[in-house]
Amino acid sequence: MAFYQQQPFYNPRIPFSGQIQGGLQDGKSIIISGRVLPGANRFHVNLQCGSHSGADIALHFNPRYESPGYVVHNTCQSRNWGSEERKYESPFPQGQTFTLQILVEQDKYKISTNGRHFMDYRHRVPYTQVDTVSVDGMVELNSIAFQNPAGYIAPQAGYQPQYAMPPGCGFPAYPSAPNYTIPYKTVINGGLYPGKNIVINGVINPNASRITFNLRYRSGIAFHYNPRFDEKVVVRNTNQMENWGPEERSGGLPFQKGQPFQVTISCNPHHYNVFVNGKQAHTYKHRFTMLHEIDILEICGDLQLSLVQA
């Protein structure tokens, strides 16, 4: 059974509560990107069984900025909290951007912070009962995105997720840290389809000239997204049969040298929407329309990567 890809929530206001369409499944990921406010004392992310007050909380992820800082993980059932699991580490510094990824597995959640495995949390409430994500506290959000493995099949006993991804891609290669070397290339498992989102987080080098994101198929580039700091423009184009088409250059340059970024490329039936730091930046009509044949993501140029969700 395949699941339709849910569109992200962009720039949600805090406190936030949103529905997880179709609930959770083994292999599904939730990717939350934002910034911890300067001087923050705490914030939390909850995976809940309902959106009403008093709903059971299957996973409570709660960074606390005391001395020393730590993160509390817990579950609340029938308004009663269970025993806390604490990790004395502060993965998200105050005033800094962050990415939190929660990967659902049969027996646990795998929690990743800024592209690195942080901890596992074993299920106390069946994940199949979870249908809501909520966020509150001293934090601001760029996006909450969702990712299903393409062609996902309901697991049977003894099932282990299989992902047609090369070594070093970072999803869901836990607990080893992902190897995001530039230039970077990875397989888009199952190709593109309407509703598919690709999420890329990183930092632009201080002396950046150009960066490139390519969505490739066998003999060409379906979508070439090319921020150029030397020209202060983002060039979009398609390469078919070794020939470039006409460039699209409108829309400005929504990136800054030396600053972190998040790019989300959302595939729609007739076009791509590109969001940068949670705001829609560009739209590009499909010139190569056999979306399922687009199965490679390439990233190169003057940047560092922290998380790629393809």
Interval 45-60 mean pLDDT = 95
Provide the whole-model pTM: 0.58
Residue 258 structural domain: 184-309
Residue 233 and residue 137 share a domain: no
Q: Is residue 105 scored above 60 in pLDDT? A: yes
Q: Which residue has the tokens 């705490």?
A: 42
Rounded to whole angstroms, the Cα distance separating 91 from 113 reads: 6
For the stretch 144-172, pLDDT in tens is: 888 765 444 333 333 333 333 333 333 33
Provide the pLDDT confidence category of residue 179 given band limits of 50, 70 and 90: low
What per-residue confidence (pLDDT) applies to 183?
94
Listed residues 92, 126, 147: the one ending a domain: 147
Q: Which residues of 185-210 are buried (b: 16+ CB within 10 A; e: fewer)?
A: ebebbbbbbeebbbbbbbbbbeebee
Distance of CA 226 to the CA centre of its chain: 21
The CATH code of the domain that includes 288 is 2.60.120.200
Q: What is the DSSP letter of 175?
A: S
Residue 272 lies in a domain: yes
Residue 195 lies in a domain: yes
Interval 25-30 mean pLDDT = 88
Residue 190 and residue 301 share a domain: yes
What per-residue confidence (pLDDT) applies to 288?
97
Residue 168 lies in a domain: no
* Number of domains making up the chain: 2
Percent of the chain with pLDDT over 70: 87
What per-residue confidence (pLDDT) applies to 310?
82
At 183, give phi and psi (nearest 5°). Answer: -70, 150
Residue 202 and residue 143 share a domain: no
Residue 176 lies in a domain: no
Rounded to whole angstroms, the Cα distance separating 52 from 179 reads: 41
